A and B are shown apart, each in its own frame.
Chain A
Amino acid sequence: KQEVTQIPAALSVPEGENLVLNCSFTDSAIYNLQWFRQDPGKGLTSLLLIQSSQREQTSGRLNASLDKSSGRSTLYIAASQPGDSATYLCAPRGGSNYKLTFGKGTLLTVNP
């Protein structure tokens, strides 16, 4: 059974800082891993999808890396802004039914 851990659970930083969010998963037999953000009271917004054959994926100020063999992914956010404040969720996809398994998320607060 896949288990996903995200560290830290919460993070508060001043605007402009570069930061790293960590995700680890117990079953390395995954097809891909997706990073999402969730704003309070809202749905999930897909940020990046990184396939198991890839090491990195970039979108704007976001960069996700994947080390499948060690069961780790990181989301790097450059030059953070108050609008980045949200909960960030990682979800590896695996199994015969291609299921996404979510971590509990990292609550990010970027202070002006």
Chain B
Amino acid sequence: DTAVSQTPKYLVTQMGNDKSIKCEQNLGHDTMYWYKQDSKKFLKIMFSYNNKELIINETVPNRFSPKSPDKAHLNLHINSLELGDSAVYFCASSLALGYNEQFFGPGTRLTVL
């Protein structure tokens, strides 16, 4: 069984479009995260949610809006896509906010043309 899953795996779109990436975890975890890995492979946190409450927002443009309908899901909506948004986006989860191991999804490769 997949622990942390993301859809779609690949996303190719035009500049200016709005798109969403979905993330689901079946581990019963309380905390979920979004990370961005740029072309230089540098991985950086964007958001974290704990029990559906926003904990971390790392100065991400407000074109990016996470939405957590329940503890098992954290979706990422991106408005007015720009070329610089091209990257691999990873979802992750952990049992709780503090001391626990994080588990990552397989990633979504977003290409903006």
Q: Is the CB of B43 within 8 A of A102?
A: yes
Q: Is the CB of A32 within 8 A of B90?
A: no
Interface size grouping (class) on chain B? 20 to 34
Q: Does A76 lie at the interface of the complex (its beta carbon under 8 Å from any beta carbon of B)?
A: no
Contact for A100 among B40, B42, B45, CB less than 8 A: B45
Q: Is the CB of B44 within 8 A of A102?
A: yes
In angstroms, Cα B50 to Cα A106, docked, is: 31
Given A42-B107, A98-B98, 7 additional A-B pairs, CB 8 A:
A43-B106, A46-B101, A49-B101, A51-B99, A99-B56, A99-B58, A102-B44
How many residues belonging to A are interface residues under a CB distance threshold of 8 Å? 22
Give A residues with C-beta under 8 Å from B. Answer: 31-32, 34, 36, 42-46, 49, 51, 87, 89, 93, 97-102, 104-105
